[in-house]
Chains A and B, each alone.
Chain A
Amino acid sequence: MQLLSGNEATALGALKAGVRFFAGYPITPSTEIAEVMAEELPKVGGIFIQMEDEIASICAVIGAGASGMRAMTATSGPGFSLMQEGIGYAVMAEVPCIIVNVQRGGPATGLPTKVSQADVMAARWGTHGDHPIVALAPYSVLESFELTVKAVEFSLRLRMPVIILSDEIIGHMREVVKLPEEVTIYSPPPLTKSRDEYYHYDDDTNFDAPYAHFGQGYRIHLTGLTHRKDGFPTNDPKIIKWKLDRLLEKITKNREWLHLVDYQDLDSDTVIVSYGSSARSALEAKFEYEQRHNKKIGFLRLITIWPFHYQKLQSLLKNAKRVIVVEMNQGQMTREISRVIKHNAELINVNRYDGELITPEEILAVL
Chain B
Amino acid sequence: MATLTDVNLRHDKIDTILSKYPFAETFLTNNGVDVTNFRENSLDDYFKSLDPEHIEDHAIDPEHLLDQFSVFISQMLSFLGEDDKVVESITILPGHDKSGKTENFSEFIIQKNEIVSIVGPTGSGKSRLLGDIEWAAQNDTPTGRSILINGKTPDKKWRYSSSEKLVAQLSQNMNFVMDMSVFEFLELHAESRMVTDSETVIKRIIEEANNLAGEKFDPNTPITALSGGQSRALMIADTAILSKSPIILIDEIENAGIDRKKALKLLLSEDKIVLMATHDPVLALMGNRRIVIKNGGILKIIETTEEEKEILTEIEELDKKVMTMREKLRNGEKLTS
A and B: bona fide binding partners: no
B interface residue numbers (CB < 8 A to A): none
A interface vs B, CB < 8 Å? none
